Amino acid sequence: MSQVVTRKGGSPSIRGFINFLRSTKVLGAFLAMVNFIIIFVVLMASVLPKQYSLKVGDIVQTPISAPWDVEDTIATDELRQAARDNVSPIYRFDEGISESVLAEVEDIFNRIDEARILVEEKFTAYKQELQAQQVDQDQNTEASGEESDGEETHSLVENVTEPSPDEILTDQFIGEIRSNFPIMLSRDEILTCLNADIEELHQLREHLLTALNGLLELHIKQDNLLEAKSALREEMMSLPISNELRILGTSIGVSTLRSNMILDETATEEERNRAAENVEPVMYKKGQYIVQAGQPISEQQYAMLQKLGLLKEDKLDLSLVLGIGIIVILTEIVVILFLLAFDKRAIDNPAHLLMMSLIIWMVLGLALSTSQLHQYLIPTALGGMLLTILMGPLTAGIVNVALSLLFGVMFENSLNIIVMTLIGGILGIYICDNAKQRNGLIWAGIATSIVNFASIFALEIMSSSGWFASLRTSLWGIGGGLLSGIFLVGTLPIWENLFGIVTPIKLVELSNPNHPILKRMLMEAPGTYHHSIIVANLAENAAEAIGADGLLARVGAYYHDTGKIKRPFYFKENQIAMGNPHDNLNPSLSSHIIISHVKDGIELARKYKIPKVIQDFIVQHHGTTAVAYFYHKAKEQDNDGNVRIDDFRYPGPKPKKKETAIVMMADTVEAAVRSMSDPTPEKVEAMIHRLVRSKLEDGQLDDCHLTLKDLNTISSAFTGVMTGFFHDRVEYPKTDEKLESIGGDADYESI
């Protein structure tokens, strides 16, 4: 059976899980999730209005107003339907119908003529048939021998051969004729067509065509068709013809007359839609009362309250939740991508991510509370200004853009708020980025107030609010800018101390000669103080020459030798009118005292709560260089060869930043050049280049990312500044060649 061995400190899986939780990516993802939740909750709290438990007919004691502009869809729909109903139908004239009606009448009369001819032909044929029958009868009679009077026989033949109309116009024959007509005519009307006088029939035809043509030229609509038929009937009945023909003409005209103005349903519908679209929506403006106090709630008012989500029984608006959630996620993604592309150090530092999140939450919380008075009172520029000082303008800029979007969502997609945040925030970022003292932050707040006022006034006057109303509303923007400045100055020390961030303003404060450590150095170690001032000038000029932080280099140089305050007289620059105590000490002890000023400086810096970034200058400004003077002195006194250069080296670490490396080189250059007995510009330049090169060769600059071009630029900057800064120093031996064989480097420390 295998055994599980548990080592001290927990199992590997547990330690791995703990390390995983401590990783930057996991902390960043956790902060992103917390950010989403908090920002989402704040936005929902600002967007969701107060809800009521009401029903139709309830009487409220306090009026209920619209939390934002909303359309009364019921009233709007009623107006739009009324507008649609008021649109008259659109007709178009169809000339083809007029031609068709007249052609149909012509066809009917042509069929009447054909029917008359058919009847006449049938009558003639029937008559001939009767006559033939009579002839056959007569022939049979003659054959039988009967005799008759000739005149009587002729008379009987004539009487027999005249057929009766009823025999010709049978129901079957009338039906056949009727089926040939395109309209339905009665039996009497068919008989009228067949028996009417031909002249009167032609007269009816002409009058009917004339009457129909006149009516059709008036453009008959379907609604006027009955009226047109009535007019036609009256005109037919007034014709000077037989009554039967009048009735026939009326039947033909009424049956064939149709409306020649056709309803254009497509055009009518388009016109009705256009009329409905032109109706202005009935709106409840923000703050306008929907329900008055003491009045019962109507069904329409209840519907409006439901639409606004003001009723407790209403379900949560999922579209609102989804929309806000998407906006928050997209905003987070944009900020993260921007930081990954342009300011990755902010992503790599969990403390910075936490600080950024806290500032965003604070600003949103302040916006939520101050907006209860007025939406323009919110400190929109606060987040950008704070992050400019704490993290830099790039991070501040993208956060300012993100806040402008979130403020827009909080305040009903207000363009005014978005513009005010963008413009005021950018100006605040610019001023804070250039501010060197805390008084400058006050001016940033004042400038933001002015810009807020101007931008709000411009946007309000564009919306036709009127000059006086726009000016009055814009005054709230001044308050928002001043609040940004007040919270900026008031909370900045909290952020600095809470996260250990040294801002440019903090650096300026640390450079004040009245700082307790600098005052002590001036009083207790004046030579070191003077030395630090010169090193600070060297470091600042060199840092600015290569694009590094000159202010940080200067302040770091002020404090790099603070440890000498503990034993000031063991350092040459403080030995005024007195002997050198190292003359009576063992070189190893002297070296220990010199090296200890780093540890003493750290202890003093912690006592006075000097920021970590400045403590780095104290601990790194010598790196792991050797105290060469005492090393060679110990080597000369030791005949056994037991002296090791590593015993005379500073513990380090080596400089990690460009600024600390520059201070290291400036410290060495100042001490070495001061030790020259006959300095000339050429000798000074050669000395500086040799010292910088020796630092490089000794590996002291391996961790600070300085290029050879940077080192040449730094050497040139040192050479320009060193002119005029000389004081009495011990001339050091040229130890670089000696150290070259043992891998060391000379450190020109004051002794």
Q: DSSP secondary structure string, 254-265? A: HHH----EEE-H
Q: What is the pLDDT of residues 18-43, one digit of tens each?
A: 454 456 677 888 888 999 999 999 98
DSSP string covering 473-487 = HHHHHHHHHHHHHHH
- State residue 6's pLDDT score: 34
Residue 68 pLDDT grade (very low, low, confident, very high; cuts 50, 70, 90): low
Burial of 205 (0-12, 13-18, 19+ CB in 10 A): buried
Pair 693, 562 in one domain? yes
> Pick from 501, 529, 559: which residue ends a domain?
501
Pair 441, 522 in one domain? no
The mean pLDDT of 517-525, rounded to a whole number, is 92
Question: Residue 161: is its pLDDT beyond 70?
Answer: no
Identify which of 535, 518, 583 has the alpha carbon closest to the alpha carbon of residue 718: 535
Residue 258 pLDDT grade (very low, low, confident, very high; cuts 50, 70, 90): confident
Kindly state the tokens that stand for 678. Answer: 């006959």
Pair 102, 157 in one domain? yes
Q: Could you tell me if 232 and 218 are in contact, meaning their C-beta atoms sit under 8 angstroms apart?
A: no
Cα angle value 357/363/368 (rounded, 5°): 125
Pair 551, 696 in one domain? yes
Pair 376, 482 in one domain? yes
Q: What is the pLDDT of residues 178-222, one digit of tens each?
A: 787 888 888 888 888 878 888 888 888 888 888 888 888 888 888
Task: For residue 291, list its beta bridge partners.
Answer: 64
Q: What is the pLDDT of residues 210-256, one digit of tens each?
A: 888 888 888 888 888 888 888 888 888 888 888 888 888 888 888 88
- State residue 162's pLDDT score: 62
Q: What is the pLDDT of residues 531-552, one digit of tens each?
A: 999 999 999 999 999 999 999 9
Pair 487, 514 in one domain? no
Pair 699, 578 in one domain? yes
Question: Residue 428: is its pLDDT beyond 60?
Answer: yes
The mean pLDDT of 601-620, rounded to a whole number, is 92
> Pick from 263, 287, 306: which residue ends a domain?
263
Helix (H, G, I), strand (E, B) or coil at 110: helix
Question: Residue 350: is its pLDDT beyond 80?
Answer: yes
Q: Could you tell me if 618 and 602 are in contact, meaning their C-beta atoms sit under 8 angstroms apart?
A: yes
Q: What is the average pLDDT score of the chain?
A: 81
Question: Residue 306: is its pLDDT beyond 70?
Answer: no
Question: Residue 346: is its pLDDT beyond 70?
Answer: yes
Q: What is the pLDDT of residues 397-420, one digit of tens each?
A: 999 999 999 999 888 778 889 999
Q: Is residue 184 part of a domain?
A: yes
Cβ partners under 8 Å of residue 455, min gap 6: 416, 419, 420, 423, 424, 477
Instruction: Say how far apart CA 544 and CA 536 lie, in whole Å.
Output: 12
Question: Residue 125: is its pLDDT beyond 80?
Answer: no
The mean pLDDT of 661-673, rounded to a whole number, is 91
Kindly state the tokens that stand for 572. Answer: 């040459």
Q: Could you tell me if 744 and 626 are in contact, meaning their C-beta atoms sit under 8 angstroms apart?
A: yes
Kindly state the tokens that stand for 33. Answer: 């999730």
Q: What is the CATH number of the domain that holds 556?
A: 1.10.3210
Q: Is residue 227 part of a domain?
A: yes
> Pick from 501, 530, 552: which residue ends a domain?
501
Residue 484 pLDDT grade (very low, low, confident, very high; cuts 50, 70, 90): very high
Instruction: Say how far apart CA 247 and CA 231 lie, in whole Å.
Output: 14
Pair 350, 404 in one domain? yes
Cα angle value 709/718/686 (rounded, 5°): 80
Burial of 148 (0-12, 13-18, 19+ CB in 10 A): exposed
- State residue 446's pLDDT score: 92
Q: Is residue 280 part of a domain?
A: no
DSSP string covering 502-570 = --HHHHHHHT-TTSHHHHHHHHH-HHHHHHHHHHHHHHHHHHHHTTS-HHHHHHHHHHTTGGGGTSGGG
DSSP string covering 643-689 = --GGGGB-------SHHHHHHHHHHHHHHHHHT-SS--HHHHHHHHH
The mean pLDDT of 362-382, rounded to a whole number, is 91
Identify which of 529, 729, 656, 504 has the alpha carbon closest to the alpha carbon of residue 664: 656
Q: What is the CATH number of the domain that holds 382?
A: 1.10.1760.20
Query: Is the pTM value of this prediction over 0.75?
Result: no
Kindly state the tokens that stand for 479. Answer: 């308050």
**Tokens 């709630």 map to which residue?**
297
Query: Residue type for 441, please?
Result: L
Q: Is residue 729 part of a domain?
A: yes
Instruction: Say how far apart CA 668 and CA 674 lie, in whole Å.
Output: 10
Q: Is residue 364 part of a domain?
A: yes
Residue 53 pLDDT grade (very low, low, confident, very high; cuts 50, 70, 90): low
How many domains are there within the chain?
3
In Å, how far are 620, 651, 692 from 655, measured between CA atoms? 5, 12, 14
- State residue 476's pLDDT score: 92
Question: Residue 166: is its pLDDT beyond 80?
Answer: no
Q: Is residue 7 part of a domain?
A: no
Residue 51 pLDDT grade (very low, low, confident, very high; cuts 50, 70, 90): low
Pair 665, 705 in one domain? yes
Pair 220, 345 in one domain? no
Helix (H, G, I), strand (E, B) or coil at 449: helix
- State residue 741's pLDDT score: 36
Q: What percentage of residues in the chain have a pLDDT greater than 90? A: 29
> Which structural domain, as residue segments, surrounds residue 405?
318-501
Cα angle value 660/664/666 (rounded, 5°): 110
Q: What is the pLDDT of residues 700-737, one digit of tens each?
A: 999 988 999 999 999 999 998 886 554 444 444 554 44
Pair 482, 516 in one domain? no
Helix (H, G, I), strand (E, B) or coil at 591: helix
- State residue 586's pLDDT score: 84
Q: What percentage of residues in the chain have a pLDDT greater than 70? A: 83
Q: Is residue 38 part of a domain?
A: no
- State residue 338's pLDDT score: 93
Pair 570, 690 in one domain? yes
Question: Residue 337: is its pLDDT beyond 50?
Answer: yes
Q: Is residue 653 part of a domain?
A: yes
**Tokens 């649609």 map to which residue?**
84
